[in-house]
Structure 1
Amino acid sequence: MVEVAIVGTGGIAGFHAEALAAQDGRARIVAATDVDADALAAFGSKWSVPAVYPTLAELLAHEKPDLVALCTPPGLHAPQAVACLSRGISVLCEKPPVLSLAELDTISAAAAGSGACFATVFQHRFGSGAVRLRGLVGDDRLGRPLAAVCHTLWYRADEYFAVPWRGSWDVEGGGPTMGHGIHQFDLLLSILGEWREVVAVAARQAKPTATEDLSTAIVTFANGAVATVVNSVLSAREQSYLRFDFEHASVELDHVYSYSDKNWHVTAAPGQESSVASAWADGLCDRPSGHKTQYAAVLSAIESGVEPPVSLADTRPTVELVAAIYASAFTGTRVRRGELGPDSPFYHRMAGSGAPWS
């Protein structure tokens, strides 16, 4: 049985606890920690956690779980991950996993030679529709990918940003580009592969934040496909919408926060109906996206002694795209993958040398 410790017992920790409870006895929560004593006590009681600690340091001093799940605000992820990895304990980290590319490289250095692994919660990769579509990229029945749309159109009331760390560069790392749309465009990248360059705009339109509340980007991929990516917390009619236009078919995903097979729609080009229908139907099993589905994959990896998904190598292109969107938006230039190294302010901080409106 895989033993898991939960760090941070706010709302998202409940999703982790529920997901672990649904794994047919393959895992159990052995410890938890939170700076909020009341929240920690309530979580420990609800989920029958045998040991609770006021700090991560105390938890690590007394426990050696197989996996630590980081459910804390983003600004805490890197130091907490390094603390776990340095003790040979693998980490599953909520999004966004880091505040910068520099922090991701710090985690990579800590993981190297530790015998432990770092993985990011990008649960949309694991629904059966996404798995099926990834398997069809390059299939002659769909043809080449040509164009894509990736829109995260969500709404957050001003009160949402009353939580001190939300809407800040220093703790949240960015606005909807960093903390909301990242799930959708991580799925986009997992399907279309390596991105090559981006041109973007970002704005602070209405929300009481230091960060943007809207961004729009045009992303070109190594395979020639071009995608539009919109990230918003201004949109009263919420929608998460992805569309992939191939030579012989359009594949659409329309949902808000999670999806099942019924949220996917496939339209064949004239004359391609039979081959496209057979291609899409093979392998679908109505496995929804979500923490339960990703945890099943993570536990299987741990039980098999292999690196859990989504690895640091898988995570980096997504974090790099976030940084590139900000860099392009704030400098008014195209940004190519690989350009943002230690000599760039956007490597060290998503806001670079500062947002235009600051």
Structure 2
Amino acid sequence: MTQRTYRTAIVGTGGIAGAHARAVRAAGDRAHLVAAVDVDVDRARAFAAEWGVPRSFASLGELLLEEEVDVVHVCTPPRLHARLALDCLAAGVTALVEKPPALSLAEMDELVAAERRSAAHVATVFQHRFGSAAVRLRRMAAAGELGRPLLATCATQWYRDDAYFAVPWRGSWENEGGGPTMGHGIHQFDLLFSVLGPWREVTAVAARQARPTQTEDVSMALVTFDNGAVASIVNSVVSPRETSVLRFDYERATVEVEHLYGYTDADWTVTPAPGQDGVASRWTAAGATETVSGHDGQLAAVYDALDAGDPPPVTLADAHRTMEFIAALYASAFTGERVRCGQIPPEFTQRMDGTGAPWSAVSAP
């Protein structure tokens, strides 16, 4: 397989853009970062100067008119993600979009339809899928080495103070599409789904406990999967001791990871069931790495797929499963009903808060 060199650009030069620029640089000759785009032109120029990027623009439209690019990294606030990805598809340019890829299932459907009409693709940044330990877990699970999956727990318990939500686009349904379910825990439960496969049914609660937001600041869900496994999922931005934890209980072993914003192999443990010591030895046989689960690994996988002429990961079909879970969680939390995959109430396909959060009629705390 011949490796190409991809001309890339970053749209939105806020905090996460640096991680994308570092990943492009780490790719070496596989990619050149040729442009930076931001509505704040001074910020775009400063970013371009910092990373040695030759050109800067005030809009994606200007970039697409004046530069030939292969991949655009969409790093703007969430409300712009789907619109910018659609513009990329119309221009035949592949978009690598930060999470969430859209604010609703209706927007996801627009992206799917546009991708079918385009030679380009949309991939969502879910970098935790690409750490070596997660790849190993999926491989061993698929080979049956761990036995049946029985139980999983997934917790993203982070802390964001009131000042964090003072940024105008944070904490609103219109700009973020949701609270920690949509913007924080999404990485962890996306990794959960990549391991356990399709989910079947959700029973959930969501609450606004402390933050001055339109959205929830805590959510919890009980989830069943097509393979019979059951899981609990917690998402929070009110937890002073921050942690990100995943635990998978299989017939033959418990596999766990605890980290915060990115893991290495050292953050994972395997506890074999009695008489199943071979599971642990097979886990360690591959050897540990110090590579953090991050943008570098996903970007390399994106380039590999494009070199092979394949859709880059994480595909819209994969991301749709995660986004539909979010819609189901909110629908269950706000209606008090169980929600099954493929049976999202119509109002929750248009907006994640459906007809409105239960607390929307009262003032923020």
Q: TM-score scaled to structure 2, two decimals?
A: 0.95
Could you say which residue in structure 2 is the equivalent of 1:292?
296
CA apart distance, 1:138:
4.2
1:150-207 CA-to-partner distances (Å, cap 9, x unmatched) read 0000000110001101000001110000000000000000000010000000000000
Is residue 138–residue 144 contact of structure 1 (8 Å, CA) maintained in 2? no
CA contact (8 A) 1:98 1:104 kept: yes
| More divergent stretch after superposition (288-297 vs 203-212) | 288-297
1:258 is paired with a residue whose SS is coil
| C-alpha displacement of 1:283 | 3.3
The equivalent position to 2:156 in structure 1, one of 152, 156, 172, is 152
- Asked if 1:73 corresponds to 2:77, the answer is yes
- State the 1:284 CA deviation: 4.5
Cα distance in 2 for residues equivalent to 1:67 and 1:199: 38
CA deviation string 1:51-90 (max 9, x = no partner): 1111111111112211010000110011111111011111
Amino acid across the alignment from 1:259: Y
Asked if residue 57 in structure 1 is aligned to residue 65 in structure 2, the reply is no
Deviation at 1:285, TM superposition (A): 4.8
Superposition map of 1:269-348 within 5 A:
269-273=273-277, 275-286=278-289, 287-340=291-344, 344-348=346-350
The answer (yes or no) to whether the contact 2:219–2:234 under 8 Å persists in 1 is yes
**Counterpart position of 1:246:** 250
Q: Distance between the aligned counterparts of 1:141 and 1:54, measured in 2?
A: 52
User: 1:121 aligned to 113, 122, 125, which one?
Assistant: 125
Whole-angstrom distance in 1 between the partners of 2:286 and 2:190: 22
Q: Say whether residues 1:354 and 2:356 are aligned partners.
A: yes
Read off the aligned partner of 2:322 and give its amino acid letter: T
Structure 1 residue 282 displacement after superposition: 3.8
CA contact (8 A) 2:266 2:288 kept: no
Pairs within 5 Å for 1:1-358 = 1-273=5-277, 275-286=278-289, 287-340=291-344, 344-358=346-360
Number of aligned residue pairs: give it. Answer: 355
Q: Secondary structure at the match of 1:11?
A: coil
The structural deviation recorded for 1:270 is 1.1
Q: Secondary structure at the match of 1:243?
A: strand
Q: Provide the C-alpha distance between the structure 1 equivalents of 2:41 and 2:117, rounded to a whole number of angstroms.
A: 35
Q: How far did 1:24 drift?
A: 2.1
- Give deviations 1:327-350, integer Å, cap 9, x for gaps: 00000000000012xx61000000
Looking at structure 2, the residues matched to 8 and 25 of structure 1 have their Cα atoms a distance apart, in angstroms, of: 23
Residue pair 2:93, 2:120 contacting (<8 A) in 1 also: yes
User: Distance in 2 between the 1:170 and 1:284 partners?
Assistant: 45
Q: Structure 1, unaligned stretches of length 5 or more?
A: none
What secondary structure sits across from 1:329 in the alignment? Answer: helix
Tell me if the contact between 2:41 and 2:56 (Cα under 8 Å) persists in the aligned partners.
no
Aligned match of 2:363: none
Q: Which runs of 4+ in 1 moved over 2 A?
A: 138-141, 281-285
Q: Distance in 1 between matches of 2:321 and 2:287?
A: 27
For residues 102-158 of structure 1, the C-alpha deviation after alignment (integer angstroms, 9 at most, x for no partner) is 001101111113100000000000000000000111444311000000000000011
CA distance in 2, matches of 1:285, 1:20: 24
Structure 2 residues without counterparts, runs of 5 or longer: 361-365
Partner AA of 2:346 in structure 1:
S
Work out whether residues 122 and 186 of structure 1, in 8 Å CA contact, stay in contact via their aligned partners in 2.
yes
Q: How far is 1:94 from its partner?
A: 0.1
Name the CA distance, whole Å, in 1 between partners of 2:300 and 2:148. 32
Q: Are the counterparts in 2 of residues 213 and 234 from structure 1 also a CA contact under 8 Å?
A: yes
Give me the CA root mean square deviation. 1.0
Give SS of 2:174's match: coil
For 1:149, give the aligned amino acid. T
TM-score (norm: length of structure 1): 0.97
**Pair 138,111 (structure 1): closer, same or farther in 2 beyond 3 Å:** closer
- How far apart, CA to CA, are the structure 2 residues paired with 1:25 and 1:89? 20
**Distance between the aligned counterparts of 2:275 and 2:65, measured in 1?**
65
Per-residue displacement from partner, 1:207-252 (whole Å, max 9, x unpaired)?
0100000000001000000000000000000000000000111000
